[in-house]
Structure 1
Amino acid sequence: MAVVSVAVDAVVVLFSLIMAVAAPLFDSQVVLPASLCPAPLLDIFRWFVAEFDHYIVADPPPFFRGLVWIDLALLWPVSVANLYGILTRRRWSATTSLMAGIHMLTYLSAMFGELLGSGRAKGKLLLLYALFVVFAVASIVRGLCSCSTQATTAGSSPARPARKKRV
């Protein structure tokens, strides 16, 4: 069981690292003017759009811009906190993992609705988003399993004797 736990932690750390780096560098290009971004980042952005034929990023509709703003405001700080919490083994990292996973799964449900509903998405783009579904589910599982383990451990520990009041 410990091997599975370490593997899930590794997947969640990778997911959090990708989100912590990609959100400010990549997602911000969707909502901010191109003049604010350095040329190398713009080149990577254009390459990504062309490589994955990502029509939503190329010409972002209003709902997608809203999702990106939510990512920047919520998912990015949670991902940074999640990275710190997992790497330093903080108990609260289960909560941040759960938050990141649920947010990402909600985001992806809107994206898959558009991608599959429009019929314009290519297999490569769908595969990319399917990979993020795996990350999101791993984050949710980590959050739920860590919480239940902590609750069980706390409930099964022997009770401390009551302290006597000093007068």
Structure 2
Amino acid sequence: MEGERRPVPISRRPMDLFLVAFFLMNIPVVVLFESQVILPPGVVPKQLSDATQWYVNASGDYLVGEKPAFLKGLVVAEVLFQLPLMIANAYSFTAGKDWGRITGVIYAAHVATTMFPLFADILAAKVATQNLLLGIYMPYLIVPLIMLARLAPSPHPFTEAVASLKTKKGQ
């Protein structure tokens, strides 16, 4: 039988703090910008669509500019699946909830695998901004792989065992 566990403060878990920051930075990006790929143009405020168009012009991100069907499918998955997981993970990682291991692994595996069709398209396109685009999208492969490496080895990545009273008295 497993003993009692308590959350390890996030201040003692710098990698988890980094991952929480990653989630919290990406939540508004998904809601305000990436969702534009699947939303009708009339519902997006002009300032947001202008900001997205600026990004497309500055980066040469033809995928966001052209909105191919496969990207729309990935963005639907991002909005309906990854976004709720980002919110759940930001909470569970911060609060030290071990169930966040499961949601974190699901999120990380999903995000990492969605990068492969994007990379394949960018590499096949031979656009002038190819290296810039690979650099923009690469963190969405690297960070999830880091997350998997962080979460996979331990069934309790955010908690530590609490010493029982018997153990404390016997010291």
Of structures 1 and 2, the one scoring higher in RCO (CA 8 A, sep 6+) is: 2
User: Percent identity among equivalent residues?
Assistant: 26
RMSD: 2.5
2:152 aligned partner: 144
Could you state the TM-score of these two structures normalised by the residue count of structure 2?
0.79
Gaps (5+ residues) in structure 1? 159-167
Spell out, residue by residue over 1:19-39, the C-alpha distance to the aligned partner (whole angstroms, 9 max, x if none). 322222112100111210112
Which residue of structure 1 lines up, in the alignment, with residue 48 of structure 2? 41
- Comparing 72-81 and 138-147, the one that deviates more: 138-147
Q: 1:149 to 1:30 in 2, by over 3 A?
A: closer
**C-alpha displacement of 1:80:** 0.5
Distance in 2 of aligned mates of 1:87 and 1:42: 33
Q: 1:124 and 1:104 mapped to 2: Cα distance?
A: 20
CA distance in 2, matches of 1:71, 1:59: 18
SS in 2 for 1:50: helix
* Per-residue deviation, 1:144: 0.8
Quote the offset at 1:139 in angstroms.
1.8
User: Secondary structure, in 3 states, of the residue corresponding to 1:145?
Assistant: coil
Please say if residues 102 and 140 of structure 1, whose CA atoms lie closer than 8 Å, have aligned partners that are also in contact. Answer: yes
Asked whether 1:69 is paired with 2:72, we answer no
Number of equivalences: 153
Aligned equivalent of 1:165:
none
- Structure 2 residue 27 is the aligned partner of structure 1 residue 20: yes
Query: Where does residue 107 of structure 1 map in the other structure?
Result: 114
1: CA distance between counterparts of 2:144 and 2:107?
A: 7
C-alpha displacement of 1:148 = 6.5
Q: Which runs of 4+ in 1 moved over 4 A?
A: none
